[in-house]
Amino acid sequence: MATFAHDPSRVHPPFHEGEPHVDHTAREPSVTDITQKASDSAPRTQTNYVAERVLVSVAIGGTGEPHRIVYVTTDRNFRNQGYARDAMNYVLADIDADGRDSTIFIRNVDTDCDVPRLTAFFESLGYVQTTLDPDENCPQLAREHP
């Protein structure tokens, strides 16, 4: 069962009884959460989304800049079971709530990683291959918020 490590009142999609994918008792709101709620310009997106089987790390973009997915990792025993997709949908809901675009550079992957398959995974989440930085020799993807 995934437990996301941020304010459970901001769960996306909204919580419904009987949906075990989000633990609403994950933790109490921190001072950072309270400060972010008080500021309209502060992003809802967190830097780390930690689940039991998945970790998504996000670099928060500056004002007017996209957020960047730094990495997504799933415990090897739980790959190809939808955990990363669920986590990414959750993260993207927060990014969209910020009104931000997001980017991904697919680099520093495990040696046995199937990069075309990973690229297709992100494309299935609405990312499009593009050239964000011509000096980077890796797949680069961008997603505009809806």
Residue 39 pLDDT exceeds 80: no
> What's the mean pLDDT in 63-85?
90
Q: Which of 118, 30, 105 is nearest to 67 (CA)?
A: 105
Residue of 65 and 37 predicted with greater confidence: 65
pLDDT in tens, 76-135: 888 889 999 999 999 999 999 999 999 999 988 888 888 999 999 999 999 999 999 999
pLDDT in tens, 1-18: 333 344 434 434 444 444
Residue 22 pLDDT exceeds 90: no
105: which strand partners? 140
- The length of the chain in residues reads 146
> What's the mean pLDDT in 59-84?
90
- Which DSSP string corresponds to 84-125? HHHHHHHHHHHHHHTT--EEEE--S--TT--HHHHHHHHHHT
Residue 34: its pLDDT value, please?
41
Residue of 54 and 13 predicted with greater confidence: 54
Distance CA 59, CA 74 (A): 18
Q: Which domains are seen in the chain, by residue range?
A: 8-143 (3.40.630.30)
Residue 41: its pLDDT value, please?
60
Answer yes or no: are the C-beta atoms of 26 and 51 closer than 8 Å.
Answer: no
Residue 40: its pLDDT value, please?
54
Angle among Cα 27, 67, 145 to the nearest 5 degrees reads: 100
Residue 70 pLDDT exceeds 90: yes
- Which DSSP string corresponds to 45-81? --SEEE-SSEEEEEEPP-TTSPEEEEEEEE-GGGTTS
